[in-house]
Structure 1
Amino acid sequence: MNAFSKAAPLLILALTAACEAPPEPGADGLPGVPVEMSEDLIAQLAPGQNLENVRLLPEDGCYWYQWAGPVETTYLPLRTREGRLICVRSPEQANIGMTDAEAAAQGST
């Protein structure tokens, strides 16, 4: 047995363990619930986010948009011009309404 044959199962296990499970699909097979964006909400968004397929994920109460990259298509959280998540839950929950740096700082206190 060569070295690759011995290492292959471990490599596969490591690669699959690093993958995060996708959000639960909605009735249409896509994650979350499709939503239409209001003009007020669109005015708050950072540029460069695709608004053709925006979803509201019940797991976190945040809006996500479909991003098509060169290798994969995935959902990314919608963000304001300041980099904040756009969510419908109250700010007391989790890190909703904070930048990633603010959430990290709050978690360390």
Structure 2
Amino acid sequence: MPQAHTTGKATLLFAGLLTLGACTIPVGQTPQPEPGISDEMMAHLSAMAAPYQNVQTVELRPQDGCYWYRHVGPVETTMLPLRTPEGRPICTERGAQAAS
């Protein structure tokens, strides 16, 4: 009977590891910027943004008219507003007016 209990734990552990592995980004895959953002705009965003942000993952959110980037933290990956070194969000004119 103890052998069946050990086999069940091993199966459960293996299933858990497979589930967690499905949450990772494949090795060698680099995030691409949103297709609608031109190279010129990407260069402009790079010049405006604080250096600790990954500008290569930027996308424009239509909900607020602001740019967001993918932040990969030690526990989770989440989208955060792209900000200037002073901490101001980087938005389109429409987004900046809505934020005022």
TM-score (norm 1): 0.50
Partner of 1:92: 97
In structure 1, how many angstroms separate the alpha carbons of the residues matched to 2:90 and 2:62?
13
Unaligned runs of 5+ in 1: 1-32, 96-109
Partner of 1:58: 62
Partner of 2:71: 67
In structure 2, how many angstroms separate the alpha carbons of the residues matched to 1:51 and 1:93?
23
In structure 1, how many angstroms separate the alpha carbons of the residues matched to 2:74 and 2:87?
24
CA offset at residue 38 of structure 1?
3.0
In structure 2, how many angstroms separate the alpha carbons of the residues matched to 1:74 and 1:39?
23
In structure 2, how many angstroms separate the alpha carbons of the residues matched to 1:92 and 1:54?
20
Partner of 1:44: 48
CA offset at residue 53 of structure 1?
1.1
Q: If you compute each CA radius of gyration, which structure gives the higher value, 1 or 2?
A: 2
Question: Number of aligned pairs?
Answer: 63
CA offset at residue 92 of structure 1?
3.0
Match of 1:80 among 50, 69, 84: 84
CA offset at residue 79 of structure 1?
0.4
Identity %, equivalent residues: 52
In structure 2, how many angstroms separate the alpha carbons of the residues matched to 1:72 and 1:39?
27
CA offset at residue 67 of structure 1?
0.6
CA offset at residue 49 of structure 1?
0.3
> If each structure's helix is expressed as a fraction of its own residues, which one has the higher value?
2
Higher RCO (C-alpha 8 Å, min separation 6): 2
